[in-house]
Amino acid sequence: MRYRLLIFDWDGTLMDSEARIVACMQAAARDVGWPDLSPACVRDIIGLGLPEAIARMCPGMADDQAEALRLHYSRHFSAADQTPMTFFEGVEAGIQRLRDNPRTRLAVATGKSRRGLDRVFGATGSGAWFHASRTADETLSKPHPRMLEELLAETGIGVDEALMIGDTEYDLEMARALGMDRIAVTYGVHARERLHACEPVFAADTFPELIDWLHA
């Protein structure tokens, strides 16, 4: 395999969490008295850090109302944990194939908070899959490349041996800003045309297809 470091987005790339994110964000908006958010509006911001997502969805919202929305969203999302989310088909087997190569390092770069990522790591037992991770609340939100820069520094792997894998233009633009190769997965939240505009080296329609391409 050419790449030594594979960096995965989480929501919409590894975990099928779109429906929960949309429902919880819509509920939070209602809680703070904001006009209804359409599913398309919420899907558009998946991948961004929560403050950046709220600013994009709710232009002109006052700071105190935005903070209340953030807290309500987190509450709704945590309360929904009693119904476990699932990985996309093929993720667990595919990650194991990657982990079987001792030369390969795996990482996560996500718009989730550290608390949220650690919670899902614990619930699914997936934290041990990854050698490193970065969340939006401990660095800069996508599409700024800071979290990728930090992952490269932590692992000691150069950008020419690293690959970003994600389902949104925020993932791919973050990688393109560094000249890092990137793969689009088309089963997530952003349309194929939007992803192709970010010039990925490959577009995978399923997770097993991604794994097969990596091992080709």
pLDDT tens track for 82-103: 677 899 999 999 999 999 999 9
Q: What is the pLDDT of residues 7-36, one digit of tens each?
A: 999 999 999 999 999 999 999 999 999 999
Catalytic annotation on 9? yes
Question: In the prediction, which pLDDT does 128 show?
Answer: 95
* pLDDT of the residue at 199: 97
- To the question of pTM greater than 0.85 for the whole model, the response is yes
* DSSP secondary structure string for all residues of 45-108: HBTB-HHHHHHHHSTT--HHHHHHHHHHHHHHHHHGGGS---BPTTHHHHHHHHHTSTT-EEEE
* pLDDT for 40: 93
Amino acid at 188: G
Q: Which of 9, 44, 167, 181 is catalytic?
A: 9
In the block, which residue shows the tokens 């993720």?
91
Give the chain's domains with CATH numbers.
Answer: 5-16+87-215 (3.40.50.1000), 18-82 (1.10.150)
Residues of the chain with pLDDT under 70: 82
Annotation marks residue 11 as catalytic: yes
User: Of 11, 44, 171, 181, which one is the catalytic site residue?
Assistant: 11
